[in-house]
Chains A and B, each alone.
Chain A
Amino acid sequence: MPNPENTPATDAVKLLSEFLHEPDFDQLSADEIRVRLKEAHVDIEEVQRRFKAALAQAGGRVALAAAQQRREAFMAKIADLKNQIAGGTELREHLRPLVERLFADSATAAVAWRNFEKATDDDLRSMIEDMSLLEELEKDDRSTPQT
């Protein structure tokens, strides 16, 4: 084995090539592989780090693309519901059962209700909309098979 300190880059490539084509490659332990790669001046930790980052990036893109698709489908589906809420008049009457269903804990529901009583009609409308959407999301989750 040549001295790694004096090994030119071309020799390092040759060493790596020899290593990769060695017939007993499968017999080597992970530690031995690490030592052999180190001798060939291959920084396995850097490779691992880049590999993990690339894997995370690819996984993230797939997850977010799927999220975008589901989100847009849901938003299209609930457009009608939003229009119905926007047209409603008895906002506070509409809100009370939603608050009670949403906040199972009665103390939290009471606090929420007190705050809503002070809210403007516009904010109440958006609150009803958000709570109704949450309920729709729950239904959507139940009806969508998990992948």
Chain B
Amino acid sequence: MTDPLRKPDFASAEGAAFRISKQYGFLHPAEIRLEDLAWDRGVTVSNGLLIGSEGRLIRKGDRGMIRVRASENQLGRRRFSIAHELGHWELHEETQWIICSSENLRDYKTSPLEAEANTFAAELLMPGHLVRERCEKSTPSLELLKSIADEFRVSLTAAGIRLLHFTRQECILVASRDRIISWWIPKTDRFGVWLRRGDSLSEQSLAYHAFDGSVGADEVEDVPTDAWFPNRPAGIEFGVSEQSMFLPRFGVVLTLLTLGDADDDN
């Protein structure tokens, strides 16, 4: 039985994805046909929409069934969801059925099972040896995030979390809907600050104005720290550089915040 309090075994999850890539001789993950790969591993990806969750895996012996919510026209999201459930299949033999929410697909910290499945999916679809260097050497940006998503055929969220993982700068990825924060993911908690799900966006933020199209995705601006962190602990000062883009298909604004020491040039 899996201990829900254990620490995630990231190395095993990455190793499992690496071994599969090597076994099948994938030159680039964009070429992976996940439905066929899953079938060859014993899992069928069932067609048809899922309503109450993002992905589901049912296991019976050496056969499994994956169903994901994302449809064919949400290719990146669908691919990451399938790879995530395949991660559960490869890594968590003891689980007979798993139902995953959209939060689970962003979780690299809270649940060891979900963190491992996400790490597996990220390594399978965006292998470290192809992504790490460009994230480490480039300034983190939404353009970089989008180029990773396009090249590796994954969702912007999955690409963004991979960017956070490898970039050397302190960044936070934020998604907002109707000018309200839906979720946020920090690279680390170096500055000891946080955002709150459900909080309204400040008018001082670019994200606020991205909803009405008055701010373009290519604009990067230093914004007042209070625009995002009005309730930070006293004495903590840092600079905030913001880039936001509206995703009309989802009605969401995706924001990349880069935090730097107050005297840094972000």
A residues engaging B (CB < 8 A)? 53-61, 63-68, 70-71, 74-75, 82, 102-103, 105, 108, 112, 115, 119-120, 122-123, 126-127, 129-131, 133-134, 137-138, 141
Contacts and interface: CB of A to CB of B under 8 A. Distances in A.
Interface of B: 22-27, 33, 35-37, 39-40, 44, 46-53, 56, 58, 60-61, 63-65, 67, 96-97, 99
Given A68-B36, A134-B65, A60 B24 contact: yes
Given A67-B37, A123-B52, A60 B58 contact: no
30 contacts: A53-B25, A56-B22, A57-B25, A60-B25, A64-B37, A65-B36, A67-B36, A67-B40, A68-B36, A70-B39, A71-B36, A71-B44, A102-B58, A102-B96, A103-B97, A105-B96, A115-B99, A122-B52, A126-B48, A126-B51, A127-B56, A130-B58, A131-B65, A133-B44, A134-B58, A134-B60, A134-B63, A134-B65, A137-B65, A138-B63
Contacts of B51: 120, 122-123, 126
Contacts of B53: 123
A112 B99 CA distance: 11
Contacts of A57: 24-27
Nearest to B95: A108
Per DSSP, are chain A's interface residues mostly helix, strand or loop, or mixed? helix
A138 B60 contact: yes
A130 B67 contact: yes
Contacts of A63: 24, 40
Nearest to A122: B51
